[in-house]
Amino acid sequence: MNLIETSKRILTQCMALQAGETFLVVADDVKRELGEALWEAGRQLGAEAVLMVMQKREKSGQEPPKAIAEAMKSSAVVVCVTEHSLTHTKARKEAAANGARLATMPSITADMFLEGAITADYVQVRSLTEKVTELLSAASSVRIEKEGKSLTFSIADRKGVPSTGMYVNPGESGNLPSGEAYIAPVEGTAEGQIVVDGSISGIGKIDTPLLLTIQNGRITGTEGESGERLLHILGEQDGRHLGEFGIGTNDKARITGVVLEDEKVYGTIHVAFGSNNTFGGTIAAGVHIDLVVKAPDVYLDDRLIMKKGQLIDLPYQ
């Protein structure tokens, strides 16, 4: 299946794009070819398709140009295929609030269009994602354990967010490919250490584990060859605060070095540092970097819900 045919399947199944609807593709100069495939697919489906290409952003969470943000707000369906993520931006949030059905595809590759997470049964992914989201919304605390290290934080009074891969109603948005449930930890509550051994957005797959020390919700130390590079990307201000905790729910996803797919892998969790003001938190850092952890133990309110990456009493066991 070629890129245009795959794009048509994505737009019909995951976005419910209809003939005559206004459809905007936001691309950057790095991902222009994939953006053009999506635009052509939308055109062939009879939509009023528009492609807007911007310069590559410097990092995930950075806002697009104002003209693109305005176009996003006035479109029925929006797909953002860019090197760095627009997921945690004001532009994405305002477009969804205005009724757009919106999918973000940061760092997606041609291979990811044709293999892996995109091939999942999204009805099944949606079902599991919604169950895990309910668990997060009902809990007050999280504990992550791996290799003798433990990280704890509060999620009291925060709501879980489902990224199901199906955005068929006005205002629904998330990643494609998808399959995760995530939540904004309460700022300043994270304490402990966490071993990261999957991948890091902006860096890719990591060959050796990275140990992070977190105090009062903020990274205070790193051990591992990726540590200094991570801190440089996050900057010295609010980018170092824990902003997200997520659980992967897509059994077809692979760890490829592209966090868009990596963080969806069933059997992994991820934490992110930086902005979370677009999904229930208070951090607006202009950066959002995800780090993937393979096969941890996870406790919600001291109840074990994941053992070595396997969700307990939920599908995919």
Q: Domain range holding 189?
A: 118-311
Phi, psi of 275 (to 5 degrees): -60, 140
- pLDDT tens column, 115-141: 999 888 888 999 999 999 999 999 999
Quick one: tokens of 232? 């440089």
What percentage of residues in the chain have a pLDDT greater than 90? 88
| Residue at a domain's end among 90, 114, 138 | 114
Q: Tell me the pLDDT band of 75, cut-offs 50, 70 and 90.
A: very high
Across the range 199-216, mean pLDDT stands at 96
99 and 51 in one domain? Answer: yes
159 and 25 in one domain? Answer: no
d(CA 14, CA 169): 10
* Residue 106, preceding peptide bond in cis (omega within 30° of 0): no
What per-residue confidence (pLDDT) applies to 241? Answer: 98
Instruction: Please tell me the least confidently modeled range out of 37-51, 99-113, 288-302.
Output: 99-113
303 and 258 in one domain? Answer: yes
- 317 in any annotated domain: no
45 and 180 in one domain? Answer: no
Burial class (CB in 10 A: 0-12, 13-18, 19+), 148: exposed
Predicted model pTM? 0.84
What per-residue confidence (pLDDT) applies to 210? Answer: 98
pLDDT at 78 over 60: yes
- pLDDT tens column, 246-265: 999 999 999 999 998 999 99
- pLDDT tens column, 28-54: 999 999 999 999 999 999 999 999 999
197 and 256 in one domain? Answer: yes
Closest CA to 199 of 214, 210, 212: 210
Closest CA to 163 of 239, 88, 98: 88
pLDDT at 283 over 50: yes
pLDDT at 1 over 70: no
What per-residue confidence (pLDDT) applies to 140? Answer: 98
- pLDDT tens column, 91-100: 999 999 999 9
Q: Tell me the pLDDT band of 113, cut-offs 50, 70 and 90.
A: confident
What per-residue confidence (pLDDT) applies to 59? Answer: 86
- 316 in any annotated domain: no
pLDDT at 88 over 90: no
What per-residue confidence (pLDDT) applies to 317? Answer: 46
pLDDT at 212 over 90: yes
d(CA 43, CA 205): 36
Across the range 156-175, mean pLDDT stands at 94
148 and 44 in one domain? Answer: no
294 and 161 in one domain? Answer: yes
Across the range 274-303, mean pLDDT stands at 96
Instruction: Please tell me the least confidently modeled range out of 22-36, 111-125, 190-204.
Output: 111-125
Alpha helices in the chain (DSSP H): 3-13, 32-44, 66-73, 90-97, 110-114, 122-138, 227-234, 259-262
What per-residue confidence (pLDDT) applies to 119? Answer: 87
Angle at 129 between CA 218 and CA 107, to 5 degrees: 60
Q: CA of 188: how far to CAs of 153, 240, 243, in Å? A: 8, 11, 10
The strand order across the sheet containing 149-154 reads 218-223, 210-215, 191-196, 149-154, 141-146, 297-300, 303-307, 310-311
- 255 in any annotated domain: yes
198 and 54 in one domain? Answer: no
Across the range 189-218, mean pLDDT stands at 97
Phi, psi of 58 (to 5 degrees): -80, -25
d(CA 176, CA 156): 28
Q: The CATH number of the domain where 40 resides is what?
A: 3.40.1830.10
Across the range 224-236, mean pLDDT stands at 95
97 and 134 in one domain? Answer: no
